[in-house]
Amino acid sequence: MIRNRPAVTRISDAVAGGLEKRILEGSLKPGDRLPSERDFSAELGVSRPTLREAIQKLISKGLLDTRHGGGTFVTDRLDAHFVDPWQEMLSGHPLLHSDLLEFRQMLESHAASLAAERATNVDIERLDTLYANLDSVYASNDVKACIDADVAFHQAIAEAAHNVLIGHMTASLMRVIHGHVSINLEHLHARPQRWNQLRSQHHAIWQAIREHQPETAARAARSHIEFVRQSMTDATKEVERRLSALRRQGEL
Amino acid sequence: MIRNRPAVTRISDAVAGGLEKRILEGSLKPGDRLPSERDFSAELGVSRPTLREAIQKLISKGLLDTRHGGGTFVTDRLDAHFVDPWQEMLSGHPLLHSDLLEFRQMLESHAASLAAERATNVDIERLDTLYANLDSVYASNDVKACIDADVAFHQAIAEAAHNVLIGHMTASLMRVIHGHVSINLEHLHARPQRWNQLRSQHHAIWQAIREHQPETAARAARSHIEFVRQSMTDATKEVERRLSALRRQGEL
DNA sequence: TTATTAAAGTGGTCTTACCAAGGAAGGGTT
DNA sequence: AACCCTTCCTTGGTAAGACCACTTTAATAA
């Protein structure tokens, strides 16, 4: 008489809860499309009716939306309430980038601190694999892969903090920043010394979280973003310098 | 090519809508037991999975309740129907509530710190008048006015931090929290000692910002929200205590 | 009468199958 | 070559039947 059932008696409830958590934490972003019901149910290890019950619940909560023959999507209403205004603001006003990085510094240092406190073994295993991946792609020359790995790493830290707002905010910020990161990474990639500093910073954050040292983790994250801020302004200055040079050439 | 389907493309939606209507109209009273899923699905002319999807939706809406092996019943309390999506999320997920306050603690302490650094004379003048107003309404018995003054005060601090993200984020959080603040304030207002603690905390934040002491301001803000968190949990416990007392009386 | 137990009823889940709507690839027309 | 239309595949929507787990109830044995 073994009860292998989880605490939630209804499997559909467990599925719905898991999905809701992933949506709120941001790992399932608004607009994302879920796998087909057949694939997803197999992936989750439940039957299709059960998956459907979970989906229907989340639909009634306004978190999901289905299109017959099209697929199932994450509603973008969360964005409408929280982030959309930012996208608009930031796209039109590059001046806000420093504000954004300042905010990110606060957010990620806090996230790192909480992650160091609360990270479960599962979280740490996930961080381990993501860090290993991050370190390996940094050794390559694929800047695009570096961005993806970097985003995934920081997102995992945010989720290890076990605060849905921090998870969601981090995901939002990542999406907003994404485009600007590439410029910065290109800039850094041309400077091997700084490039290696970046790697050691990630290592420091990773280690501090692994060893459950909140203060150290917070400091490491803070100085990491500080470093990014600095090189970001450097990159911007260089771009402007080149632009003015080009402009001079064009005017000659 | 006749489309005999109603406006609702999903049969489960139609079933859920019909049931909800019957419940709200009173033909299905709170406490009533529905026919078994097999009988009911036959009666409605739909399949059992479809009926179940409809039922799950109404469960997530808080209209129905199921007991494994027992039956499906109409929920006793019919409330929380026409509320904000965010409010709904908060009410349905108490864990989000603590997450929210944790996030707010981070946000506002940082905002206070930055405000202490960057507040201009104009900012400080604004804070002076808002604080004076806050202190005066706290002496009155108008809890509603207290909320407004409190929100305005904290919002002004966030704007004095001169970071648009912090300002925007604070505004969003304030909107979300607004409803729950009232419960907390009612709770505190009945306890003069704690009520005065609240006033002195506001005073401490205000002074620290005026005198440009970031560390002091951050500490004051942090302990202020910590105080709010504590009294919030106290208030929740008291509500639960009252509820259980009422329940005991009802059973006698 | 009381306690135990067996059976019937009910929600929870799985499997299989078919229908309907959307989308993309291929073939035909202009 | 460009455009439109058909066809087929994928995906969500529904149905039917079976089995499991839990609850209730009633029959049975003490």
Instruction: Please report, for residues A38, A45, A46, B122, B167, the alpha-carbon distance to residue A54 in angstroms, rounded to integers and kept in the order given.
Output: 14, 13, 11, 53, 37
Q: Using the CB atom, is residue B136 less than 7 Å from strand D?
A: no
> B96–A164: do the CB atoms touch at under 8 Å?
yes
Q: Is the pLDDT of residue A170 over 90?
A: no
For residues B57 and B72, is the Cβ–Cβ distance under 8 A? Answer: no
CA B48, C1' D15: Å apart? 8
pLDDT for A108 equals 95
* Residues A143-151: contacts with CB under 8 Å, at least 24 apart: A143/A182, A143/A185, A143/A186, A143/A189, A144/A182, A146/A185, A147/A178, A147/A181, A147/A182, A147/A185, A150/A181, A151/A178, A151/A181
CA A29, C1' C26: Å apart? 35
pLDDT for B82 equals 32
For residues A190 and A219, is the Cβ–Cβ distance under 8 A? Answer: no
**CA-wise closest residue to B8 among B43, B57, B42:** B57
Q: Decide which of B148 and A38 is more confident.
A: A38
B226 CB-near residues (< 8 Å, 6+ apart)? B105
Q: Is the pLDDT of residue A239 over 60?
A: yes
pLDDT for A252 equals 43
**Closest CB from A9, A53, A103 relative to B165:** A103
pLDDT in tens, A73-92: 887 655 444 444 455 445 54
When pLDDT is cut at 50, 70 and 90, the band that residue B243 belongs to is: low
pLDDT for B78 equals 47
CA B93, C1' C18: Å apart? 39
Average pLDDT over residues A187-214: 90
Average pLDDT over residues A193-209: 92
Q: Is the pLDDT of residue A2 over 60?
A: no
* Residues B91-97: contacts with CB under 8 Å, at least 24 apart: B94/B236, B95/A164, B96/A24, B96/A164, B96/A165, B97/B180, B97/B232
When pLDDT is cut at 50, 70 and 90, the band that residue B116 belongs to is: very high
When pLDDT is cut at 50, 70 and 90, the band that residue A207 belongs to is: very high
Q: Confirm whether pTM is higher than 0.80.
A: no
pLDDT in tens, B27-64: 787 788 899 999 999 888 899 999 999 999 888 877 88
B115 CB-near residues (< 8 Å, 6+ apart)? B123, B157, B158, B160, B161, B209, B217
Q: Decide which of B191 and A186 is more confident.
A: B191
Closest-CA residue of A relative to B52 is: A53
Task: Compute the nearest-CA separation of B103 from chain A (Å).
Answer: 7
Average pLDDT over residues B200-226: 96
**CA-wise closest residue to B118 among B33, B19, B217:** B217
Q: Does the ipTM exceed 0.85?
A: no
Interface test with B, best of A72, A103, A109, A162 (most B CBs within 10 A): A103
**CA-wise closest residue to B51 among B11, B96, B86, B7:** B11
pLDDT for B86 equals 47
pLDDT in tens, A182-191: 667 777 777 8
Spatial distance between the Cα atoms of B162 and B170, rounded to a whole number of angstroms: 12
Average pLDDT over residues A110-130: 94
Q: List residues of B whose CB lies inside 8 A of any A CB.
A: 9, 12, 16, 49, 52-53, 56-57, 59-61, 68, 85-86, 88-89, 95-96, 99-100, 102-103, 106-107, 110, 163-166, 168-169, 172
Interface test with B, best of A8, A163, A177 (most B CBs within 10 A): A163
Chain centre to alpha carbon of residue A113:
17
Task: For each of the domains in chain A, give its residue range(s) and CATH number, in order of start.
Answer: 11-74 (1.10.10.10), 78-248 (1.20.120.530)
Spatial distance between the Cα atoms of A126 and B223, rounded to a whole number of angstroms: 34
> A57–B52: do the CB atoms touch at under 8 Å?
no
Q: Is the pLDDT of residue A228 over 70?
A: yes
Q: List residues of A whose CB lies inside 8 A of any B CB.
A: 9, 12, 16, 24, 49, 52-53, 56-57, 59-62, 68, 77, 81-82, 85-86, 89, 96, 99-100, 102-103, 106-107, 110, 163-166, 169
